[in-house]
Amino acid sequence: MPDPASPSPDQTALHRWLWRWHGYAGLFVIPFIFFMSLTGIPYVWEHELEDFFHPEYRALTPQAQRVSYEQQLATAIAACPEKELGFIRVDGDPRHATQFWFGEWANPTSVFINPYDGNVITKMNEWTRLSHAAIALHGLVFVEPYGSWFLELLACWGIVLCLTGVYLWWPRGQKWSVWGVFLPRLRSDGRTRWRDLHAVTGFYFAAVLVFYFITGLPWTAFWGGKLLTGIQEATGQGYPHCMTTESGHVSTPPAQDAKPLPIDAFVSFGLAQNLPGHNLTIELPKSPTGAVHLSNNTGSTATERHFQLDAFTAHPLGTADWLDMPASQKAVMLGIDLHEGQLFGRVTQVLSTLLALTFMLLAGAALLMWWKRRPQGRLDWPRLVPRITLPLNMKAAVVVLSLFLPLFGLSILLAMALDRLADYKSA
């Protein structure tokens, strides 16, 4: 008579089958988890790192007199004539220089101007700044346009890694102890210790890791740029156009030969609003009758406010803030703010750093565990498992996940085809 405490042959086969897919997902995703955690930490501490590494434009001596922003702009353009102006950042801290950003995100240049004497402090490629280099590497900007697709695929399989990992962690039929399931056996031999660090820690942080994968998807080209944006626009839940540079607002010149106001007029308007953070980002229009986009950069979407200003009068043509966002967009932006570790200030910075270090521990423990269990002298690839019939609930989970993540659905069809091919060749 079979032991009721032992798993059935079907359960054992399913366990082996899931372990194989967990292993494939791990080989694909674990280096990505380590890399993304490592590059995410400097971005979370962006301002602190800037203060430490760049006192030349972050520790100025405040003075009573300032050079006009229009004159600062002319100096910055003269220093970087080869690229188009992207935006101007006026920092509320009097010790900070005015930043003029030129070029595209993939290869930008910043010119920092001393607002008190109007001279160029430094002109630097943003890739030489740790904060920008970290976030650019984090988003695989250097391999665009393919980097975004690759990130989305990695995030999809990262979710699979977490879901299969929780299933494999769950104690099967046999007797089990709290140690090794809910508490790691740190005094055991190397392989057991690393297994517990990976499995037990993974169980506690699987949901958090899935959250980070999902909140990273809005940045991707397909899921975020095509699928999510398309659904939001079709349902009236899109990002308010007033919060973008291409808002559609039109500036009306009061006379045929009228010229746009100097930047100082828009800075004065922004400072007069007493916006949270007091950090202004100004984007000049691309067309002669376009609007000036002004916003305050706080790191938290809930406290940001956007204005579209008439380039000839500085009068607001439109404004939008958190209250103007539809519900789905609020959820997306809240997830992004949490993902970036900027929602609750220092507390979130510390928490995000600890989470990143935990994810790196998970990834490192998995690699060490795999390395220790492999046969001596060769790699240990997940073994072939005879074809099995999946339970209905698991089939439903795969279908739902494929509908939510179409790129995952396509990749799993390809993976299953390759799996069948390998099975056929081994027969």
What's the pLDDT at 310? Answer: 96
pTM over 0.75: yes
What's the pLDDT at 270? Answer: 94
Please state the rounded mean pLDDT for residues 194-198.
82
Could you read off the pLDDT of 114-167 as tens digits, one per residue?
999 999 999 999 988 888 888 888 888 877 778 888 889 999 999 989 999 998
What's the pLDDT at 39? Answer: 92
Could you read off the pLDDT of 280-305 as tens digits, one per residue?
999 999 888 999 999 998 878 889 99
**With 60 as the cut, is the pLDDT of residue 7 above it?**
no
What's the DSSP call for residue 141? G
116 neighbors 60 (Cβ within 8 angstroms): yes
What's the pLDDT at 386? Answer: 61
Task: Give Cα separations from 337 to 49, 75, 302, 341, 367 (angstroms).
Answer: 19, 34, 9, 6, 30
Is the preceding omega at residue 276 within 30 degrees of 0, hence cis? no
How would residue 378 be classed by pLDDT, with cut points 50, 70 and 90?
Answer: low
What's the pLDDT at 11? Answer: 64
Please state the rounded mean pLDDT for residues 41-51.
91
**With 90 as the cut, is the pLDDT of residue 316 above it?**
yes
Could you read off the pLDDT of 207-235 as tens digits, one per residue?
999 999 999 999 888 898 889 888 888 88
What's the pLDDT at 292? Answer: 96
What's the pLDDT at 87? Answer: 95
CA–CA distance, 269 with 384 (Å, rounded to integer): 66
- Which segments of 170-236 does DSSP mark as H helices, in order? 190-216, 229-235
40 neighbors 34 (Cβ within 8 angstroms): no
What's the pLDDT at 384? Answer: 59
Please state the rounded mean pLDDT for residues 332-341.
88
Show Cβ contacts of residue 7 under 8 Å, excluding neighbours closer than 6 positions.
Answer: 15, 172, 173, 174
**With 90 as the cut, is the pLDDT of residue 424 above it?**
no
CA–CA distance, 192 with 369 (Å, rounded to integer): 8
What's the pLDDT at 2? Answer: 44
**Share above pLDDT 70 across residues of the chain, in percent, rounded to a whole number:** 91
Listed residue (125, 122, 124, 120) closest to 72, CA to CA: 120
147 neighbors 121 (Cβ within 8 angstroms): no
Angle at 167 between CA 161 and CA 170, to 5 degrees: 135
Residue 374 C-beta-side C-alpha neighbours within 13 Å = 14
What's the pLDDT at 1? Answer: 39
Listed residue (177, 293, 284, 180) closest to 243, CA to CA: 293
Per-residue buried b or exposed e for 174-213, using 16+ beta carbons within 10 Å of the residue's own CB: eeeeeebbeebbeeeeeebbbbbbbbbbbbebbeebbbbb
Between 249 and 423, where is the model more confident? 249
**With 80 as the cut, is the pLDDT of residue 426 above it?**
no
What's the pLDDT at 23? Answer: 82
For 300-332, what is the HEC assignment? CHHHCEEEEECCCCCCEEEEEEHHHCCHHHHHH
CA–CA distance, 319 with 170 (Å, rounded to integer): 51
- Residues carrying CATH 3.10.450, the chain: 55-128
**With 60 as the cut, is the pLDDT of residue 3 above it?**
no
Please state the rounded mean pLDDT for residues 401-417.
86
What's the pLDDT at 239? Answer: 82
- Taking every pair of Cα atoms in the chain, the longest distance, rounded to a whole number of angstroms, is 97
Please state the rounded mean pLDDT for residues 385-410.
84
What's the pLDDT at 173? Answer: 62
What's the pLDDT at 38? Answer: 93
Question: Mapping DSSP to helix (H, G, I), strand (E, B) and coil, where does residue 160 land?
Answer: helix
Taking all residues of the chain, what is their mean pLDDT, rounded to a whole number? Answer: 86
Between 190 and 89, where is the model more confident? 89
Show contacts of 97-102: CB within 8 Å, 24+ apart: 97/57, 97/58, 97/60, 97/121, 98/69, 98/72, 99/57, 100/72, 100/73, 100/76, 101/126, 102/76
316-321 and 120-125 strand pairing: unpaired
**Is domain 55-128 annotated with CATH 1.25.40?**
no
What's the pLDDT at 88? Answer: 96
Listed residue (55, 21, 367, 425) closest to 194, CA to CA: 367
What's the pLDDT at 4? Answer: 46
